[in-house]
Amino acid sequence: MKLGTGPAKSGWHSLINSIHGRLWDRRAFSRAPQYVFQCGLATLALLIILLIDDAVLNAVVVAAVASSAFIVFVVPDSIAATPRKVIGGHLVAVLIGGALSLLLHSAFLDPIVGQNNIIFDAMAALSLGLSILLMVVTNTEHPPAAGTALALLIQGFEWNLVLFVLLSAILLSFIRMVLRNRLTNLL
């Protein structure tokens, strides 16, 4: 038997193909222009969003918006990328997170929370659970919006955060609607 033939070679070749297929998308080179276009759109959209408001001050909110940008530009055919889900999910999260934030930082609870982190943790968990429930009931499920609810609870209710989140969701949805025919699922 010659060196490099037989079962050992096919096993090695199979391993290389297996690793190759898992490390990167086999279509990446053939679809490179589409990949660069859509990832560039996501980058540009987030840059515009960040330039509108210096949102880097609240990393949790930016993470939620960036996650929405990922869904909109990487899997635009996903149900979670539709304007109803993106805008509606963040709207629900703003309502729940904002209401619980106002309650948490009220004159009644603020002194108690300062002495006991359990109440803060319970409110954070409640903001997530209620946001998910209301998103499911209103058919506005958008996973990144859960981060919005938590962000408002952690940061405290601020109108600039609310406007930032809602305008970001609207902008992402608008870009998706305008460029819908040029976007394709990258996953």
Rounded distance between C-alpha atoms, residue 115 and residue 146, angstroms? 26
- Indicate whether 109 pLDDT > 80: no
Mean pLDDT of 109-134: 83
d(CA 87, CA 142): 9
Q: Hey, how many other C-beta atoms are within 10 angstroms of the C-beta on 116?
A: 10
What pLDDT does residue 19 have? 57
- Do 133 and 89 form a contact (C-beta atoms < 8 A)? no
- Say whether pLDDT at 177 is over 70: yes
Residue 59 tokens read as 């990393």
Residue predicted with more confidence, 30 or 100: 100
Q: The tokens of 148 are what?
A: 């919005």
Q: What is the pLDDT of residue 116?
A: 74
pLDDT class of 180 with cuts at 50, 70, 90: very high
- Alpha-carbon gap, residue 131 to 1, rounded angstroms: 65
Q: What is the dihedral of CA 146, 150, 151, 155, to 10 degrees?
A: 170
Tally of CB atoms within 10 A around 110:
11
Model confidence pLDDT, tens digit, residues 59-99: 778 889 999 999 999 999 999 999 999 999 999 999 999 99
Query: What's the pLDDT at 9?
Result: 53
d(CA 71, CA 53): 22
10-14, 39-43, 91-95: which is most confident: 91-95
Closest CA to 155 of 94, 72, 70, 68: 94
SS (H, E, C) 164-180: HHHHHHHHHHHHHHHCH
**pLDDT at residue 2 in the model:** 54
Q: What is the predicted pLDDT for the residue at 39? A: 85
Q: Out of 62-71, 80-89, 100-109, 121-130, which region has the weakest mean confidence (pLDDT)?
A: 100-109
Listed by start position, the domains of the chain span 1-30, 39-182
d(CA 187, CA 177): 19
Supply 184's token pair: 């394709």
Structure tokens at 43: 């980058």
- For 47-59, the pLDDT digits (tens) are 887 777 665 557 7
Please state the separation of Cα 136 from the chain's center in Å.
17
Above 70 in pLDDT, residue 104?
Answer: yes
Helix/strand number for the chain, H first, E second: 8, 0
